[in-house]
Chains A and B, each alone.
Chain A
Amino acid sequence: MKRTIENIEEQFETFQILNEEGKVVNEEAMPELSDEELKELMYRMVYTRILDQRSIALNRQGRLGFYAPTAGQEASQLGTQFALEKEDFILPGYRDVPQLIWHGLPLYQAFLFSRGHYHGNQFPEGVNALSPQIIIGAQYTQAAGVAIGMKKRGKKAVAITYTGDGGTSQGDFYEGINFAGAYGAPAIFVVQNNRFAISVPVEKQTAAKTLAQKAVAAGIDGIQVDGMDILAVYAATKQARERAVNGEGPTLIETLTYRYGPHTMAGDDPTRYRTEDMDSEWEKKDPIVRFRKFLEEKGLWSEEEENEVIEKAKEEIKAAIKKTDEQPKQKVTELINNMYETLPAHLEEQLEEYQAKESK
């Protein structure tokens, strides 16, 4: 009797294009990207790293609220987003704010989301996305629904959703990939495997050797990608998108990555569950470092250019925070008005009560 589990890792070998030294190890898989596009990828990663540093600092000063650090995950987040078109629909987890920003969400609104102001979730027309999901995995079934809807409308577009390694343990994870598979819907399910669900290591999360192999149970395509290699992440997503819009169904993409910072800024202490050795081992794989080497080798990047990006990012963040500060305080009466299309009588009464309170 043949045991199917024995050679599972061979089937889900990690897809890589750029190694840790910034050398191309998989020439034939190189995506077709112009020099400008390659530089744009670097621009976005550097910018997002600065945004993360500034966000952490602003949080510590009490000028931002809920924040889930992103450093280390830039290639996974931005490489997937870069493969999308404007009409594609993003269903992010709470760490996936950078994808929303590069999909068109103004920075000041991302800051308002962090501060707990509803205007942060009032996405401008044409930013096709939901606001960041708090419940782990809930976005997976919703993404299947978006994709089924796109297919019914005959749109040439995809729904893309994100969760982490812990998210793959949720029932909604499996229900989402299974529904999308059953209807052949154009969805891309991204699992950013950063090795820890807050503190629980992925080894304690599942007996599965890879998370990509979970696609097999749903009968859909699955691939494990070096999540610190933006070219591999981009190429895998691009291919998944092409397959999806051509009616070939959904794809599950597992990106192997690492979050350098804490789970969120609300008191998580990674030294309780990670070692310094582990941190430095992953820092050697850094997505920005390796892509910088690659670009410098091609003569496409310099220290001055990087400094320009850093300065630009800092200025724009400063301006965005200023705009965030200028936003009018939200009112309970506004929240009441946002509950239903037409207010039921009991909320009308409560609205009056809060109008009186708020006019004091």
Chain B
Amino acid sequence: MAQMTMIQAITDALRVELKNDENVLVFGEDVGQNGGVFRATEGLQKEFGEDRVFDTPLAESGIAGISIGLATQGFRPVPEIQFFGFVYEAMDAISGQMARLRYRSGNTMNAPITIRSPFGGGVHTPELHADSLEGLVAQQPGLKVVIPSGPYDAKGLLIQSIRDNDPVVYLEHMKLYRSFREEVPEEDYAIELGKANVVREGNDVTLVAYGAMVHSALKAAEELEKDGIDAEVIDLRTVMPVDFDTIVKSVEKTNHMVMVQEAQRQAGMASYIISNVQERAILHLEAPILTVAAPDTVYAFTQAEEVWLPNYQDIIEKVNQVINY
């Protein structure tokens, strides 16, 4: 096994699937010669040739639109949207078109497309690079939305996303790209979509998180332990569909829940998840489910970013409120 950063694990997953299936195509802005602005596709064009790994003109709607056309020819496109804040340019092609191909054609066609895209705050980007827009795509029936929290999951989830016969939006938190390494098997392995991971077991409160916030939740759990509060942390891994069974099972045990997301309170997955959990587990809850999220402004300008982004202390505060309700 090798120690890999998340970005290396992503490159590795792409390599595995390019090797496994000759229908897999990797393309986007700067992904060819340059290996991607984050080096996610480093060396892939050299290894697999320009026919399979290629640069595109600079147009997100075009990138998403050609993916649909390529799917009709039996390909399995893996386009990159350079930063997910640019996805607004491609919204019709994604939500209006590829998400509906199977439905529209009465199950006679499908779009096995995996859109990869970096997102997430804390890395001092200019505007429209860091926004958490997972809620925007998760609200479109027909799409699946995957957000890994580290290298091991990133590889297994990306491999499974590419193999999925429906469109998947696979979001990569930029802060996680190189922040830590993990043991990642060199062989191929897949992690089932729609299955959450209990990354820390606990009895007093359930913290539901995804992406970079999984690490903030884990840090909060460590601190809370010192005060005698035993938190369970669930990493959703897939935010659409949501693994409610795992969440409900946990809440039945802890009787308390805090929902954690980096997105603004009005955005992201929190509202959807909380409404479903209360429908399924209200009698097990001893307090309202509270939310840790960013304020409902446009994503913060860089100089205010650190305060704007939710952190582990915000989580501790909400946990204390829930426990002492």
Contacts and interface: CB of A to CB of B under 8 A. Distances in A.
A232 interface: no
A138 B65 contact: yes
A190 to B, nearest CB: 16
A342 to B, nearest CB: 9
A131 B65 contact: no
A275 B59 CA distance: 40
A341 B110 contact: yes
B238 to A, nearest CB: 9
A181 B66 CA distance: 13
B253 interface: no
B70 A135 contact: no
A18 B92 CA distance: 40
Contact of B57 (A119, A182, A341): A182
Contacts, number: 136
B225 interface: no
Contact of B166 (A91, A146, A178, A341): A341
B241 A159 contact: no
Interface string A335-356: 1011111001111000000000
B66 A144 contact: yes
Contacts of B108: 121-123
B33 interface: no
Contact of A138 (B56, B71, B73, B92): B92
A346 B244 contact: yes
Interface in A196-248: none
A123 B106 CA distance: 9
Given A130-B72, A150-B73, A346-B244, A175 B62 contact: yes
Q: Interface residues of A: mostly helix, strand, loop or mixed?
A: helix
Residue from B72, B92, B245, B276 having most chain A Cβ neighbours under 10 A: B72
A171 B68 CA distance: 17
A347 B241 CA distance: 9
B166 A121 contact: no
A340 B166 contact: yes
A131 B59 contact: no
Interface stretch (B97-105, B124-132, B150-158, B258-266): B97-105
Residue from B68, B73, B242, B276 having most chain A Cβ neighbours under 10 A: B73
A80 B158 CA distance: 42
A345 B245 contact: yes
A105 interface: no
B65 A341 contact: no
A97 interface: no
A78 interface: no
A152 B77 CA distance: 13
B141 interface: yes
Interface in A152-177: 152-153, 159, 171-172, 175-176
A122 B65 contact: no
A143 to B, nearest CB: 6
Interface of B: 25, 51, 56-57, 59, 61-62, 64-75, 92-93, 96-97, 102-110, 141-142, 144, 164-166, 194, 241-245, 276
Interface of A: 89, 91, 118-119, 121-123, 130-131, 135, 138, 140-150, 152-153, 159, 171-172, 175-176, 178-179, 182, 335, 337-341, 344-347
